[in-house]
Amino acid sequence: MGLLSDPNRRRALTNLLTRLNAPICVVCYLAGVMWFMGLAFEPFTLRTYMSENAMGSTMVEEHFPAGERALATGREFAAHKKKVGGMPVNWLVKTMESRGLEVFTQSFTRKLPFPDENKERYLVRGTNVYGILRAPRASRTEALVLTAPCSQGNANNQAVGLLLGLAQYFRSQVYWAKDIIFLVNEHDLIGMQAWLEGYHHTNTTGGDWSPLHGRGGSIQASLSLELSSDVITSLDLVLEGLNGQLPNLDLANLFHAFCQKIGVLCTIQGKLQRNDWESTSGYSHSAQTMMLMVLKQASGRPWGDHGLFLRYHIEAATIRGINSFRQYKTDTTTIGRLLEGMYRKLNNLLERLHQSYFFYLMPSLTRFVSIGYYMPAFGLLAVILLLRALDLWVQLGASAPGTEDGLAEREQDPRFLPLLNKLVISHMTGVALYCLPVMSQEMAVQHFPVSETEAVVLTAIAIYTAGLALPHNTHRLLQGEGTEHGWRVLKLVALLYLAVLLGCTALINFSLGFILALSLVPIAAFITPPLSAAIMVLLSPGCTLLYCVLIFQELQETPVSLQDGWMLFLSVISQGILDHSLYGSLVYPLLALLIYPCWLLLWNILFWK
């Protein structure tokens, strides 16, 4: 700090920074991207290890025998489901009661803001059925949850069968120290949301559910099971939850440890682990896995039924059975044993899972990148914004007449009024983008031949595009600006605003922050009035979303044409809006209310006259 308080040295430092500003920024950007890509390189990552002592040292023997019976129960469930045409509530209640559980039901109603075309639902009515296995000599203070969804069609019948089979087996064991709640939820996440809000007596999204009558205290951990075939080839672990929250890494470690012990193939992001990290293909495999995780996390949606538990500080993951064309098959008994083992270890927990990491990326199931390793990649991008801001500040100071008292003078400067105008107008556009699509859907449907969902998405895109025309119009309205000084001040404000925004976002959801930084930082850093508008548009948040969709499909090895990609893009927008209104995902409001206005500020500079 002595460096800064000495005027001469300070001058030298600022001179250096302003002279070399552009090269430093370019180097930082490249270094940030390189650092990020390096995270997937195996020698740079850490091997996962079990941090929780209560789960590590204790040996558990699995005895679950009744896989076949569980499948039979699953078939029975399927028959009843078909007969009732939905959730067979009475049958489930009776079956759970006969297995010695305390059974309760919860009914819920939810009206979506507009029809969900992916899942074809609008007014959702359903019932959750759950049974509580009371642990002997425990005082209802702690609980574990196992859930299986009652899905449309023939999906997940085996999961419900296995859940009931496990309930019966667990009931006859004496070693439980925590209550175990077996939950069959209808309408996947909507039912889960209703149940969790009922359990915790909150109402964050205005749903309508009946109160719960049986509880088991504070829930320590939860697993969601998705199983749609009698035999499977591998089990996939899904971690990404609402708003990019992740469960404690020990839960993933536990899953991996039991897969190893029992001999089940396990994957993450649907990708098997490979051992050839030296080869290019090995590296690109783990880079793909990590990129998939980053994209999923950035989307902020719950990628399985577990995703909503994380808000309540309940460690949760989804285990999904995959049946592919591989030779080696695993039967239901083995999956049952795996779950039994996991629950017995979770049962041994003395504290909530807290020893291991909550912020991590996984290039494979045995490797992870902790927050300390990935944050520098973002930091290198974010520092560019600060460097450019410093540069602008120095330039503004040099051009203003009085260097020391310039700030005070400028505050009274009438030239700051248009700046304020621009800020307000950009944010108003953001608010319009946030509110209007859902509010004006009826009007749109009346005037245009589109469905409600299309109306919402197209309105959003229309408002987004209309925002691009704003600079022209506002210029006509507001006279007396367009100085060189004016856009510099505007850019300075926009840079600092963006830096704060991205910094906060990256702390909560690193992936989202990093992806936004990747596309927004270059334009924010190098924008000057004559820059090409095309680049600006191509790097706008909306286009970033489109690229993400395309890259995601590419990484999932289901590449799509641009035409399909566009359709997918439209559905992603509608899903994003739905996620926000149904589960309280924050990505849509973040983009609409903060990131988009910030980008509009930069867009204004482009048309500075």
Residue 57 makes contact with other proteins by CB under 8 A: no
Residue 65 makes contact with other proteins by CB under 8 A: no
Between 99 and 337, name the residue whose CB sits nearer to other proteins: 99
Residue 201 makes contact with other proteins by CB under 8 A: yes
- Dihedral (Cα; 466, 467, 470, 472), 10-degree rounding: -70
Residue 172 makes contact with other proteins by CB under 8 A: yes
Between 83 and 213, name the residue whose CB sits nearer to other proteins: 213
Q: Each residue of 465-502: b (16+ CB within 10 Å) or e?
A: eebbebbeebbeeeeebeeebbbbbbbbbbbbbbbebb
Between 98 and 260, name the residue whose CB sits nearer to other proteins: 98
Q: How many CB atoms lie within 10 A of CB 319?
A: 23
Helix (H) or strand (E) holding 145: strand 142-150
Q: How far apart are CA 233 and CA 340, in angstroms?
A: 19
Q: What φ, ψ does residue 234 adopt, rounded to 5°?
A: -150, 165
Spatial CA neighbour of 161 closest among 190, 184, 187:
184
Between 187 and 311, name the residue whose CB sits nearer to other proteins: 311
Between 122 and 312, name the residue whose CB sits nearer to other proteins: 312
| Options 3-11, 23-31, 152-160, 291-299: segment touching other proteins (CB under 8 A) | 3-11
| Options 182-190, 215-223, 503-511, 526-534: segment touching other proteins (CB under 8 A) | 215-223
Residue 520 corresponds to which tokens in the numbers above?
A: 């927004």
Q: How far apart are CA 609 and CA 604, in angstroms?
A: 10
Report how many residues bind other proteins under the rule CB under 8 A: 33
Q: How far apart are CA 271 and CA 366, in angstroms?
A: 12
Q: How far apart are CA 153 and CA 171, in angstroms?
A: 30
Cβ partners under 8 Å of residue 102, min gap 6: 131, 132, 134, 214
CB of 350 to other proteins, least distance (A): 6
Between 7 and 530, name the residue whose CB sits nearer to other proteins: 7
| Options 28-36, 113-121, 147-155, 351-359: segment touching other proteins (CB under 8 A) | 351-359
Between 351 and 409, name the residue whose CB sits nearer to other proteins: 351
Task: Give residues 303-342 in contact with other proteins (rule: CB under 8 A).
Answer: 311-313
Q: What φ, ψ does residue 180 adopt, rounded to 5°?
A: -120, 125
Chosen residue from 18, 107, 210, 355 binding other proteins by CB under 8 A: 355
| Options 140-148, 317-325, 410-418, 420-428: segment touching other proteins (CB under 8 A) | 140-148
Between 133 and 606, name the residue whose CB sits nearer to other proteins: 133
Residue 141 makes contact with other proteins by CB under 8 A: yes
Residue 215 makes contact with other proteins by CB under 8 A: yes
Between 7 and 414, name the residue whose CB sits nearer to other proteins: 7
Between 8 and 280, name the residue whose CB sits nearer to other proteins: 8
Chosen residue from 75, 119, 125, 134 binding other proteins by CB under 8 A: 134
Instruction: Provide the greatest CA pair distance for the chain.
Output: 86
Q: What φ, ψ does residue 120 adopt, rounded to 5°?
A: 55, 60
| Options 25-33, 87-95, 129-137, 334-342: segment touching other proteins (CB under 8 A) | 129-137
| Options 166-174, 254-262, 330-338, 584-592: segment touching other proteins (CB under 8 A) | 166-174
Residue 1 makes contact with other proteins by CB under 8 A: yes
CB of 170 to other proteins, least distance (A): 10
CB of 267 to other proteins, least distance (A): 30
Residue 4 makes contact with other proteins by CB under 8 A: yes
Q: How far apart are CA 176 and CA 180, in angstroms?
A: 8
- First and final CA of the chain: distance in angstroms? 40
DSSP 474-515: HHHHS-S---HHHHHHHHHHHHHHHHHHHHHHHHH-HHHHHH
Between 42 and 142, name the residue whose CB sits nearer to other proteins: 142
Residue 53 makes contact with other proteins by CB under 8 A: no
Residue 71 corresponds to which tokens in the numbers above?
A: 């499948």
Q: How far apart are CA 142 and CA 470, in angstroms?
A: 56
Residue 202 makes contact with other proteins by CB under 8 A: yes
Spatial CA neighbour of 175 closest among 142, 135, 212:
135
Residue 137 makes contact with other proteins by CB under 8 A: yes
Helix (H/G/I), strand (E/B), else coil: 293: helix
- Contact residues toward other proteins (CB under 8 A) are 1, 4-5, 7, 100, 102, 134, 136-142, 171-174, 200-202, 213, 215, 217-218, 311-313, 350-352, 354-355
